[in-house]
Amino acid sequence: MRIMGLDLGSKTVGVAVSDPLLITAQGLEIIRRKDENKLRQTLARIEQLIEEYEVSEIVLGLPKHMNDTLGDRAELSLAFQDKLERRTGLPVTMWDERLTTVAADRTMMEAGIRREHRKEYVDKIAAVFILQGYLDYRANKENA
């Protein structure tokens, strides 16, 4: 059993997956699409990864505003959650993703990755932060 983490962008989806013990998150890939509304191939690729990694649950980033309200991007994420649940039959947990992209960018900066190359990795690293936050939350809840 593994958990998949997703960071939905306008033309990309960053993908991460947990280890089998649900302790750590690893970045897998960035699924790219030409148009924001073209999700069929994106969903098909996610289904392939679910099967390959024996995923039993999905965590999807929810881009809230800093004042805790939901905007247009959050509404798109909630619609994507519905599509994922219907297509895969798996539970999809929404996870607050505020500042994950900032954290991902900072991590790459500290690692010495040049600014022009960061866009290539930011969605995958953001997916790792989303999933790791969820895994840590689960572990703390179980130990409480």
pLDDT tens per residue, range 106-137: 776 777 777 776 676 777 888 998 999 999 99
Q: Please give the residue range of the domain that contains residue 27.
A: 2-143
Say which CATH number the domain at 81 has: 3.30.420.140
How many domains would you assign to the chain?
Answer: 1
The tokens of 21 are what? Answer: 């013990």
The 10 Å CB-count burial string (b at 16+, else e) for 78-108 is eebbeebeeebebebeebebeebbebbbebb
Length, in residues, of the chain: 144
pLDDT tens per residue, range 71-119: 788 889 999 999 999 999 999 999 988 766 666 667 767 777 777 766 7
Q: Which pTM was predicted?
A: 0.87
